[in-house]
């Protein structure tokens, strides 16, 4: 077979071949100044530009994209830092609370004042199976009453965010002139389910299913560990009060 026949039998070089070669030899153009000057690429403006100009343009686009992504990450970090500071202040005050009413009041003041939201509720299940009128942000209900209103929401382990049904929002935030439109609901568990921590906003869609729940979980985990002794103390005080009432009626 002659060299000419071999040449004719060789497959043509494809665009993919060229791309693969340049990827394997990224320094190919280092000593090809004349070739670089002769290559022209179309530009958005309509004029032709050199390969070097095209590279510079792509590098600038990549730089701007990275700057934008970095700016978003920095803003997210700043937002999370602010949330962490607010959460820390709230928990510092909660740790110092000496009663359930004081704890609920601290939570309500922080959520509405520091976090700028519209409502907060500390909903606790009464071990004696009794209900009481809401005392500010403190709501004491029976487990059965909560189950009837919230159903499967009590079974979760993490925060649930959404708009909820009207009767559910009324149950979580009673005695409100301005109704709550969206809710973040966190279970309070210490072995068993102790109750619920609810945060509300009058803005529709403020809380939705896509929201992260890291800081809500952080707060609820701390509340779950602080609640048992306060609930036990509250039950003892309630027992003493009830006994005094019985004695006083005799």
Question: Which candidate, 169, 226, 174, places its Cα nearest to that of 161?
Answer: 169
Q: Are 215 and 85 in contact (CB under 8 A)?
A: no
DSSP assignment of 132-182, as one string? ---BTTEEEE-HHHHHHHHGGGGG-SS-EEE---HHHHHHHS-S-SS---E
How confident is the model over 56-92, as pLDDT tens digits?
Answer: 877 888 899 999 999 999 998 998 899 889 999 999 9
Q: Domains of the chain: which residue ranges?
A: 71-244
The values of phi and psi at residue 230, to 5°, are -70, -40
Please, which residues have CB within 8 angstroms of residue 76's CB and are 6 or more apart in sequence? Answer: none
Please, which residues have CB within 8 angstroms of residue 120's CB and are 6 or more apart in sequence? Answer: 107, 108, 110, 111, 112, 137, 197, 198, 199, 200
How confident is the model over 49-64, as pLDDT tens digits?
Answer: 566 676 787 788 889 9
Q: What is the pLDDT of residue 167?
A: 92
pTM exceeds 0.85: no
How confident is the model over 136-166, as pLDDT tens digits?
Answer: 899 999 888 889 999 888 887 788 888 889 9
Q: What is the pLDDT of residue 179?
A: 87
Q: Going by DSSP bridges, is the β-strand pair 48-50/40-42 parallel, antiparallel, or unpaired?
A: antiparallel
Q: What is the pLDDT of residue 246?
A: 46
Written out in words, the top-level CATH class of the domain with range 71-244 is alpha beta
């Amino acid at each position: 077979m002659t060299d000419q026949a071999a040449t004719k039998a060789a497959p043509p070089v494809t665009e993919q071949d060229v791309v693969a070669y340049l990827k394997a030899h990224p320094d190919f153009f280092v000593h090809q100044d004349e070739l670089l000057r002769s290559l022209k690429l179309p530009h958005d403006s309509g004029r032709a530009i050199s390969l070097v100009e095209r590279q510079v343009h792509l590098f600038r686009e990549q730089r701007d994209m990275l700057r934008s992504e970095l700016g978003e990450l920095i803003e997210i970090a700043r937002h999370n830092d602010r949330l962490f500071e607010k959460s820390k202040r709230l928990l510092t005050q909660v740790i110092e609370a000496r009663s359930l009413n004081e704890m609920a009041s601290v939570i309500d003041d922080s959520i509405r004042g520091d976090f700028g939201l519209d409502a907060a509720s500390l909903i606790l299940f009464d071990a004696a199976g009794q209900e009481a009128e809401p005392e500010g942000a403190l709501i004491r209900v029976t487990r059965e009453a909560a189950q009837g209103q919230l159903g499967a929401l009590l079974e979760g382990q993490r925060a649930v965010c959404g708009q909820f049904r009207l009767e559910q929002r009324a149950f979580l935030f009673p005695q409100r002139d301005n109704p709550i439109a969206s809710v973040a609901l966190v279970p309070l568990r210490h072995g068993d389910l102790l109750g619920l921590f609810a945060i509300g906003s009058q803005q529709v869609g403020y809380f939705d299913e896509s929201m992260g729940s890291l800081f809500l979980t952080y707060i609820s985990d701390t509340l779950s560990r602080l609640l048992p002794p306060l609930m036990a103390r509250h039950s003892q005080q309630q027992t003493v009060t009830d006994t005094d009432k019985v004695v006083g009626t005799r």
